[in-house]
Structure 1
Amino acid sequence: MSNRLPIEVNPFRMIEQRRSLTGVLPLQQLPRLRELAVGSEDSEFKVEMIFTHSASGLPLIAGSVTGELWLSCQRCLEPVKVTIDTQLNVVLTTSQTDREPEEEGYELYIVDDERIFVRDFIEDEILLALPVVARHAACQPVKPLFEGSPDEFVEPSAAEESKNPFAALKDWKKSE
């Protein structure tokens, strides 16, 4: 069994043949994910894709994607390790108007020209599995911009409030 995944497949033919794909996808082959990664050049993702039918007969890709990735912590900006372990459960369709899969609780994936690009498909699934905000579990909370309570805020005195910045102009106009 090869660890290489094909570039593209006809998923409907793969379903007819009841085939599956197993392999490793290096981070270097995932350009959108590589932009987000910090110091993860040697990261790899293990991929398993099973082409089958759902219980109601819909064309389905099941399987999993697992791996690790280093992202930038959004609190301290230091690298944080993010573990990816996502399950694939995607129904294939050729049109956007097909709502039956969504009603059954499946994600919908629109297939153009009866083919999918495996790398793009897997990269999409990994991006969807990433946390919204990557951060360390023990990272210090964000410090407020203003430290103190509202009671400590000093109100300007009445003399300062009544001081008009244009008062000097008023005196200047009278002197002419």
Structure 2
Amino acid sequence: MKYAEFPLKKTVNEGRVYEDSLSVEHFPRLKEAVHSVDSPIRFRIQGETNPLGQKEVKGNVAVDLSMICQRCLEPFQTKFDLPIHWIPVKDESEHDLIGDDEALLLVEGDEINLLELLEDEVLLTLPLVPKHDLNEDCDGKDYLEKLKPQEDKKQPFAELAELLKK
């Protein structure tokens, strides 16, 4: 299937479901943004009509990535499984009719580049400062712990404070 020319209108109107797994070669910006992509990018897209009669696209995109921890400068793995919920609109004037909480997808024709949209979803979820979780081993986290002030250190002016109280 040509996901660069994805038939969004047919997908939504007919309630079609697309599920696939693609290599990182289809997602060049993601490949550049992380240390490595450790799995194929898996996605599921389904067109449907919600109870209000609005056409929408639901699904998810999942991938395993390695990023460089900004504390210890070592790679670490993380998994992403992101929900997708788009409401396609033809122009921005429809925004007021739908509401602020919904993710609007501005569509000019009947087709979209699904690969770019999926890549955007993952890129927008990447952390600005990648780092290990607090419960994982990280040399940088240990270093930060050593920099915290120790409670048992003697305060240099504590004796002066005691003298001033007298």
Gaps of 5+ in 2: 157-166
Are residue 47 (structure 1) and residue 43 (structure 2) matched?
yes
Paired with 1:97 and 1:7, the residues of 2 have a C-alpha distance of 26
Paired with 1:68 and 1:93, the residues of 2 have a C-alpha distance of 31
Higher helix share: 2
Are residue 64 (structure 1) and residue 66 (structure 2) matched?
no
**8 A contact 2:13–2:55 mirrored in 1:** no
- Give the length in aligned residue pairs: 145
For residues 18-167 of structure 1, what are the structure 2 equivalents within 5 Å? Answer: 18-40=15-37, 43-99=39-95, 100-103=97-100, 105-137=101-133, 138=136, 139=138, 140-141=140-141, 143=144
Match of 2:162 in 1: none
Structure 2 vs 1, CA of residues 76 and 101 (structure 1 numbering), >3 Å: closer, same or farther? farther
Question: Is 76-85 or 135-144 further displaced after alignment?
Answer: 135-144
What SS does the aligned partner of 1:7 have? Answer: helix
CA root-mean-square deviation: 2.4
TM-score (norm 2): 0.75
Paired with 2:124 and 2:102, the residues of 1 have a C-alpha distance of 15
1:147 Cα deviation after fit: 8.6
TM-score (norm 1): 0.71
